[in-house]
Copies of this chain bind each other. A is one copy, B any other.
Amino acid sequence: MAQPLVSQPSEESGFVKEIPSKAQHFADWYTAVVLKAELADYYPVRGCTVIRPYGYAIWELMQQGLDRRFKATGHMNAYFPLFIPQSFLQREAAHVQGFAPEVAWVTRGGGEELSEPLAVRPTSETAIGHMYARWIRSYRDLPVLINQWCNVVRWEKATRPFLRTMEFLWQEGHTAHRTAEDGEQESRQMLEVYRDFAETDLSVPVLSGRKPDSERFPGALHSYTIEALMPDGQALQAGTSHNLGQNFARAFNIKFLDSDNTEKFVWTTSWGLSWRMLGGLIMAHGDDRGLVLPPRVAPYQAVIVPILSGKGRDEVLTAARSIASGLAPAVRVRLDDRTEVTPGWKFNDWEMRGVPLRIELGPRDLGQRQAVLVPRVGGGKRPVPLDGLAEAVPSILAEIQQTLLQQAKAYLDSHIVTATTREQFAAAIAARSGFVRVGWCGAEACEQALRREGGASPRLISTETPGGPCPSCGGAARHVVYYARAY
């Protein structure tokens, strides 16, 4: 009974229009896929986009995958206000410096000028810090493990659906702990949750590690990040987890009475992942025919296209309905029984929309008591007996999920180059070929020198043991750092 998540073909749209080549016109390819697959659309306020039902259904599945992991690690959802008093934002010095230029301000409400402007939240550390100071009294109240799903606003002039928008949907976790170690462990644990989610649910492999200090979140002690590599060789920061130390605890006076009867500041963390990751998964897997969705987050995992021409039409339709209802509890399946478009049109259309598996059923197939399964990636047509579909379909979907991960992993692995000299580094960055792995002595001057080479930034500090020299000063490397141009 559920309505299709995509529009009917309209008179004028005709056959699926061409999508630019992904290899040659990557940015245009991305925009075309987002618009044609009806994932998102532009909106008259610059920087704002609309997420259409098919795109939102992917986001809902992503939310479920994350939310399940958050709850399994003891976190609870809550909701904090959209508006943050200007004075709150100013309490933590680095925080206000980092965010003030990006803030949208409400200055008028209910017909009156406000005495204190209200920030539309760019992130909620300050609002939540204020509440935690009210709620936390004793060590018994710790840890506080809260997440919220909400919209945030950061002023942006450029707009790329999902990747860069003024308003975006995300989740932000905010936790408070008794000890420094507990805070550090939480921030690392949530990074690992993000990594597992990206790889397991989205088939997007990532590098994970600590941000250099120059790139950390405003107000954080340390920031951790997962970074995916896009097909144009640029990195996408896909989720971050921050150990905030006692910076916000001091700014908002969040104290607890410990079991030794002394008052102490708590240790806090925050971590966030936004719909930007949805943009990442579009870029990572799509091809020249359009979107490719990993089965775990595909609104329709399989589409049944019955061949309804000629004799045997009614029998085919009846059998297709029976396949759909047989698969339905375990598989998100859609029966495309439209008669105003041809099967060939449907094949193209569903491929463009990234449905992982097509199930074809014609009169001849029905005569042989079989259907033909056509995976979106990996190629091949596989005839499967009708009474084996309930087993075969979930198994092929799992296979597709793995194929996508392996493809993306192979791409990532083959796009990491190691540079030991500044010339090698500059050449690798200029080639736009992915991550450049370098040793780093730890001096900020050396980081600054490399930043000037072609617009790359240090994406993360890995936990690997450094081998070679720092390419900038030639001194001994203390860390391994991955550089890339980035979104």
Contacts and interface: CB of A to CB of B under 8 A. Distances in A.
Interface of A: 1-3, 5, 7-13, 41, 43-45, 48-53, 55-57, 59-60, 71-85, 88, 101-111, 117-118, 120, 127, 130-131, 134-135, 137-138, 140-141, 143, 145-146, 150-151, 153, 155-157, 167, 169, 257, 340
Given A7-B135, A45-B118, A138-B10, A79 B51 contact: yes
Contact of A138 (B11, B151, B156, B169): B11
Contact of A73 (B1, B7, B72, B75): B1
Contact of A104 (B76, B80, B106, B135): B106
A83 B11 contact: no
Nearest to A147: B53
Contacts of A74: 1-3
A104 B111 contact: no
Given A102-B110, A110-B155, A157-B110, A77 B50 contact: no
Most interface-central of A82, A111, A131 (chain B CB within 10 A): A82
Nearest to A38: B135
A11 B75 CA distance: 24
A65 to B, nearest CB: 16
B48 A81 contact: yes
B3 A145 contact: yes
A480 B84 CA distance: 47
The number of times this chain is found in the oligomer is: 2
Most interface-central of A59, A77, A110, A167 (chain B CB within 10 A): A110
5 contacts: A1-B72, A2-B72, A43-B130, A45-B83, A150-B151
Contacts of A2: 71-72, 74, 76
A81 B11 contact: no
B145 A82 contact: no
Given A50-B78, A167-B83, A137 B11 contact: yes
A8 B10 CA distance: 58
Contacts of A78: 50-53, 55-56
Given A60-B77, A105-B109, A7 B141 contact: yes
Contacts of A111: 101, 155
A279 B120 CA distance: 26
Nearest to A81: B48
A50 B144 CA distance: 15
B53 A140 contact: no
Nearest to A76: B53
**Smallest CB-CB A-B distances: 10 pairs:** A110-B155, A3-B74, A53-B76, A48-B81, A104-B109, A51-B79, A8-B140, A105-B108, A10-B137, A10-B138
A117 B108 contact: yes
Contacts of A3: 74-76, 143, 145
Contacts of A55: 78
Nearest to A60: B77
A167 B103 CA distance: 19
Contacts of A101: 110-111
A420 to B, nearest CB: 41
A3 B95 CA distance: 30
A134 B117 CA distance: 35
A85 to B, nearest CB: 6
B9 A340 contact: no
Contacts of A134: 41
Contacts of A53: 76-78, 146
A169 to B, nearest CB: 6
A73 B140 CA distance: 46
Contact of A49 (B60, B81, B110): B81
A104 to B, nearest CB: 4
